[in-house]
Amino acid sequence: MQSVQHFGLKNHFLMAMPHMEDPNFAGSLSYLCDHDENGTMGVIVNRPLELTLDALFEQLELGGDESPHRDAPVYYGGPTHKDRGFILHRGESDAWDSSIQVADDIALTTSMDILQALADGKGPEQFLICLGCAGWESGQLESELKENAWLTVEGRADILFTVPPEQRLGAAAGILGIDLNLMTREAGHS
């Protein structure tokens, strides 16, 4: 009998368990933007880089002197496509060139038009700009979930956009009533 796979992790947080040793993901909170038979894609949302939006605007020659977002951090989004920007934001996807609607009020955009809008002081008020993303091949994430490498819970915009980055992982775990600091680093099987 063939097993049936369910692809319901879009718009979910993926929390690294305390025993996660992969340096790309240890201590990480990822937000999953796509999950289907081809695999899974998301961005890490709790690792700000030593890079501000102002420096990014300057590198891309977008101006941005008048942007109220100049001091916003840019995040390490994951080990894949590290040279590409992934902008997670509140609102509708149809306002931007290359965008997908992840949840009712959360979209992911990869086109320059949103960065130019932010540099011009326009665009979404709530956003995270990530360099790179995280990806899993078909069945890979499901296998890692069975090995207890991750916890999942439905994503929430308030955690993404209003909770400070260093508190996001704990806030997501809190939805499940879990304190990751109290969990052992040793994986157990009964």
Task: Check pLDDT > 70 for residue 4.
Answer: no
Give 143-159 pLDDT, tens digit per residue.
999 988 999 999 999 99
Q: By the 8 A CB rule, do 52 and 70 touch?
A: yes
Give 125-137 pLDDT, tens digit per residue.
999 999 999 999 9
Residue 44 makes CB contacts below 8 A (sequence gap 6+) with 25, 28, 29, 30, 75, 76, 77, 78, 130, 134
Task: Check pLDDT > 90 for residue 7.
Answer: no
| Spatial distance between the Cα atoms of 77 and 130, rounded to a whole number of angstroms | 5
Which is it for strands 48-52 and 73-76: parallel, antiparallel or unpaired? antiparallel
Task: Check pLDDT > 60 for residue 9.
Answer: yes
pLDDT greater at residue 69 or residue 130: 130
Give 25-67 pLDDT, tens digit per residue.
999 999 999 998 899 999 999 999 999 999 999 999 898 887 8
Give 73-122 pLDDT, tens digit per residue.
999 999 999 889 999 999 877 888 899 999 999 999 999 999 999 999 88
Domain 12-182: assigned CATH number: 3.40.1740.10
What pLDDT was estimated at residue 19? 86
Q: What pTM, to 2 d.p., does this model score?
A: 0.90
What does the domain layout of the chain look like in residue ranges?
12-182
Could you say which DSSP state residue 162 is in?
A: T
What pLDDT was estimated at residue 184? 58
Give the sign of the dihedral formed by CA 65, CA 70, CA 71, CA 77. negative
Of the listed ranges 2-16, 53-67, 154-168, the one predicted with least confidence: 2-16
Task: Check pLDDT > 70 for residue 6.
Answer: no
Q: By the 8 A CB rule, do 45 and 167 touch?
A: no
For range 12-24, the mean pLDDT: 91
